[in-house]
């Protein structure tokens, strides 16, 4: 007994250490992603207790949750990351409690299921911390509802009290988000398993199961009517009937649930066996990954071995559903099948890729149950411990790699904002920044709109939103539907609203591996950048460089709360500054920047970034140098000729060339086959 008590006391701390090894190594190096950025921005602008203005039209409990947590953690990213890990850990502890309530005495099983739940690799968005720390709160509330429901069955004298508490927790979870709506349909399976342990006949246990489920079913029915027929979400519309008839709709649902159950329950774990691409195992980063995964391996193996015992009661023989493995499989399948119901109802893609892997959240418990049952089919204690610890270690390594991708993305955002502020030191309010798309994985245009406003209007605290950043791929049927001059644009941004005009657009582009580009019809257009999507032509025609404040009193800097001030002068620094002064006609400064970049031995990631220097040198009396650079560009790719021909045309029209330079220019125009 004392042995069990010691192990049970250590269990939460072992799980916490493994959680830290899997999710916390980069805790000081990750940032705000996806909806994190706008939601923290709303707290900054409106105040940390005003989230009812953000979620006014849906999810009545969610703003309460935000208003309670935002004042505590504010804009401190590290605290949000700690809180997100904490909530996942607490949810894992609650899972262990549920397992012990379903199968009393199965302490080892409770630990194993909690551990597998904790490191489940299907959900790969742990580091979107402000959003998913709250989502894990809602998951915890649902798990508490299950635990209290089971407690009511195990404690007949307090059945009504625990049932009432279970109903409250379940209702609040539903009102906060629909993520766990489908899991409500797994309650009967759990109740039936517990009731059959009393030895009652099947008919009696089924009747009692339906009776005990009735109050939860009534809550579910009321919520379904309210959410599906009364409330119209600004985000998702719920499908309540099939266009092709009820039978086809049910068949579609069944196929969807089965396919998603396989993805979320089985394929999710296969990810951990796929090694990361281009791994250099001698690098410091992968050494750290090895230490984290090795630590998780050693700790989980040691503790599982200590916990493993033959003293726990054996399963009853003769009746298949009296085996706990069979029961765990039944509950797990029920949870996996029901877990994807919300994504199906909202017509959302269920996938293991970002951003769709968030829909695996309801499948974490069911997947852990099934995997644990499978592990315990192995008769050898050594094999069970070895397989479990290997799964935990590989999962920790997989999460480490995912965390590193988030870390790199945060650095990429910092670089993007830094380059943008070098090129656009000030920006007139009411400007729309438009890109076809930008090379980010964990940011949408919606996310970047918050970052742009925070950078260029750090003191904004209400009124019309000063700026928006739109992707043409996303907004071409809404805000960017009409790409004609002088067309008013009104764009909703949750609690805020942007009022602009298509004549106030600034087109931008970021080639993979290159610097931020500001596009316009004269200097940087489809001809200059042949890799641009042709649909950007209409946007570039509207791009207005006059929206840029070239010499503001206080130049914009990337969000100082999050990004340290940089003094680095890399290639993109010189390129952005040169492109800015080319816009103002200061070709002497362009030439000076070229000399500094050359002296520092810097070269571009994208050779088209030589263009402002070619033009600046050509117009500053250094045409021979400009021609030499241009020939290097064409030697790499002949399609660069057309953009350079535009530059030769502007240099020729300047009227400032000497006679010898005019001769050089005529020769290079002929060499490049420029049309006169």
pLDDT above 80: residue 233:
no
Q: Calculate mean pLDDT across residues 550-577.
A: 91
Does 611 score more than 90 pLDDT?
A: yes
- The pLDDT, as a whole number, for residue 313 is 43
Q: Which residues contact 298 (CB under 8 A, 6 or more apart)?
A: 389
- Quote the pLDDT of residue 3: 52
Q: Which two tokens stand for residue 640?
A: 């660069």
Q: What is the helix, strand, coil percentage profile of the chain, to 5?
A: 65, 5, 30
pLDDT the model gives residue 71: 94
Q: State residue 523 phi and psi, 5-degree precision.
A: -90, -40
Whether residue 363 has pLDDT greater than 80: yes
Q: What is the pLDDT of residues 466-510, one digit of tens each?
A: 999 999 999 988 888 899 999 999 999 988 999 999 999 999 999
* Residue 2 in this model has a pLDDT that exceeds 60: no
Over residues 6-26, the mean pLDDT reads 91
**In angstroms, rounded to a whole number, what is the distance separating the alpha carbons of residues 114 and 440?**
34
Q: How far apart are CA 110 and CA 99, in angstroms?
A: 5
The predicted structure's pLDDT at residue 479: 86
More confident residue, 653 or 91: 91
Q: Higher pLDDT residue, 641 or 241?
A: 641
Higher-pLDDT residue of 316, 375: 375
Q: Give residue 310's pLDDT.
A: 46
pLDDT at 661: 84
Nearest to 502 by CA among 492, 487, 491, 490: 487
Strand partners, 519: 507
Separation between Cα atoms, residue 311 and residue 455, nearest integer Å: 62
Q: What is the pLDDT, as a whole number, of residue 131?
A: 94
Residues 6 or more apart whose Cβ sits within 8 Å of residue 520: 507, 540, 543, 544, 545
Highest mean pLDDT among 332-346, 571-585, 638-652: 571-585
What gap in Å lies between CA 194 and CA 181, rounded to an integer? 22
User: What does the pLDDT read at residue 301?
Assistant: 83
Instruction: Report the pLDDT averaged over residues 562-586.
Output: 91
Sheet containing 488-493: order of strands: 464-465, 496-501, 488-493
Helix 159-176 to helix 129-154 angle, to the nearest 10 degrees? 160
H or E segment and range at residue 491: strand 488-493
Q: Which residue, 460, 456, 386, is CA-closest to 421?
A: 456
Helices 659-671 and 623-636, packing angle to 10 deg: 10
Beta bridge partners of residue 493, listed in sequence order: 496
User: CA dihedral in degrees (316, 322, 323, 326; nearest 10)?
Assistant: 170
Largest CA distance in the chain: 106
| Average per-residue pLDDT for the chain | 89
pLDDT at 446 over 80: yes
For 45-65, what is each residue's pLDDT tens digit?
Answer: 999 999 888 887 667 788 899
CB 552 within 8 A of CB 429: no
* Token duo for residue 471: 């992707």
Residue 504 is given by DSSP the state G
Predicted confidence (pLDDT) at residue 344 exceeds the cutoff of 90: no
Q: Residue 302 pLDDT > 70, yes or no? A: yes
393 versus 196: the higher-pLDDT residue is: 393
512-534: average pLDDT: 89
* pLDDT for res 235: 54
Dihedral class, residue 488 (left if φ above 0, else alpha if ψ from -120 to 50, else beta): beta
For residue 272, pLDDT beyond 80 = yes
Nearest to 99 by CA among 327, 359, 320, 298: 327
Kindly tell me the burial class for residue 294, based on how many C-beta atoms sit within 10 Å of its own C-beta (0-12, 13-18, 19 or more). middle
Rounded mean pLDDT, 266-289:
74
Give the residue carrying structure tokens 């946007």: 539
Task: Give the residue-averaged pLDDT of 206-233.
Answer: 85
The encoded tokens of residue 88 equal: 């996942």
- Is 397 within 8 Å of 431 (Cβ atoms)? no
pLDDT of residue 316: 47
* CB-side neighbour CA atoms (13 Å) of 519: 27
**Section 616-628 average pLDDT:** 92
Q: How confident is the model at residue 17 (pLDDT cuts 50, 70, 90)?
A: very high
Q: Is the pLDDT of residue 66 over 80?
A: yes
């Amino acid at each position: 007994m004392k042995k069990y008590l010691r192990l049970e006391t250590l269990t939460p701390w072992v799980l916490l250490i493994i959680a830290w090894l899997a999710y916390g190594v980069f805790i000081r190096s990750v940032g705000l992603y996806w909806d994190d950025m706008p939601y923290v921005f709303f707290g900054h602008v409106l105040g940390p207790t005003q989230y009812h203005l953000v979620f006014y039209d849906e999810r009545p409990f969610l703003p309460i949750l935000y208003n309670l947590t935002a004042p505590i953690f504010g804009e401190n990213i590290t605290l949000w990351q700690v809180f997100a890990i904490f909530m996942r850990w607490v949810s894992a502890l609650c899972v262990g409690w549920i397992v012990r309530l379903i199968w009393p005495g199965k302490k080892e099983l409770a630990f194993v299921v909690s551990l597998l739940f904790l490191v489940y690799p299907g959900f790969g968005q742990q580091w979107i911390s402000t959003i998913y720390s709250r989502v894990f709160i809602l998951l915890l509330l649902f798990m508490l509802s299950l635990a209290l429901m089971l407690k009511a069955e195990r404690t007949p004298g307090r059945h009504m009290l625990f049932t009432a508490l279970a109903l409250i927790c379940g209702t609040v979870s539903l009102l906060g988000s629909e993520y766990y709506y489908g899991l409500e349909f797994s309650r009967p399976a759990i109740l039936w398993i517990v009731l059959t342990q009393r030895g009652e006949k099947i008919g009696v246990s089924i009747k009692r199961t339906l009776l005990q489920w009735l109050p939860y079913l009534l809550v579910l029915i009321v919520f379904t009517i309210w959410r599906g027929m009364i409330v119209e979400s600004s985000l998702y519309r719920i499908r309540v009937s099939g266009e092709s008839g009820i039978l086809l709709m049910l068949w579609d649902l069944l196929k969807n649930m089965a396919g998603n159950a396989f993805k979320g329950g089985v394929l999710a774990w296969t990810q951990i066996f796929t090694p990361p691409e281009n791994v250099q195992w001698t690098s410091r980063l992968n050494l750290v990954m090895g230490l984290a995964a090795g630590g998780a391996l050693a700790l989980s193996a040691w503790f599982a071995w200590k916990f493993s015992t033959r003293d726990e009661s054996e399963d009853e023989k003769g009746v298949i559903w009296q085996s706990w493995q069979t029961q765990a499989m039944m509950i797990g399948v029920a949870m996996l099948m029901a877990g994807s119901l919300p994504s199906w109802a909202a017509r959302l893609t269920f996938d293991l890729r970002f951003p769709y892997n968030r829909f695996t959240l309801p499948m974490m418990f069911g997947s852990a149950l099934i995997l644990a049952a499978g592990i315990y089919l192995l008769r050898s204690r050594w094999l069970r411990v070895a397989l479990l610890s290997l799964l935990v270690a590989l999962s920790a390594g997989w999460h480490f790699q995912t965390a590193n991708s988030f870390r790199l993305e945060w650095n990429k955002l910092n670089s993007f904002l830094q380059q943008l502020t070098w090129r656009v030191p000030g920006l007139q309010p009411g400007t729309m920044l438009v890109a076809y798309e930008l090379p980010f994985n964990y940011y949408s245009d919606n996310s970047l709109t918050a970052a742009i406003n925070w950078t260029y209007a750090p003191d904004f605290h209400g009124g019309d939103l000063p700026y928006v950043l739109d992707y043409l791929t996303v907004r071409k049927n809404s805000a960017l539907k009409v790409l004609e001059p002088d067309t008013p644009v009104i764009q909703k941004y949750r609690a805020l609203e942007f009022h602009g005009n298509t004549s106030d657009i600034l087109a931008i582009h970021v080639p993979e591996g290159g610097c931020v580009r500001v596009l316009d019809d004269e200097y940087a257009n489809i001809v200059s950048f042949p890799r641009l999507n042709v649909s950007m032509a209409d946007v570039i025609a509207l791009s207005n460089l006059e929206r840029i404040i070239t010499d503001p009193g206080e130049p914009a800097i990337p969000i100082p709360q999050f990004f340290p001030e940089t003094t680095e002068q890399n290639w993109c620094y010189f390129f952005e500054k040169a492109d800015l002064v080319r816009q103002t006609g200061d070709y002497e400064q362009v030439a000076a920047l070229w000399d500094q970049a050359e002296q520092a031995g810097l070269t571009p990631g994208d050779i088209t970034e030589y263009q402002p220097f070619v033009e600046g040198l050509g117009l500053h009396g250094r045409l021979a140098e400009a021609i030499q650079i241009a020939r290097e560009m064409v030697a790499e790719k002949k399609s660069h000729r057309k953009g350079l021909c535009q530059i030769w045309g502007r240099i020729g029209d300047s009227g400032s060339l000497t006679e010898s330079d005019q001769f050089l220019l005529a020769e290079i125009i002929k060499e490049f086959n420029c049309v006169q």
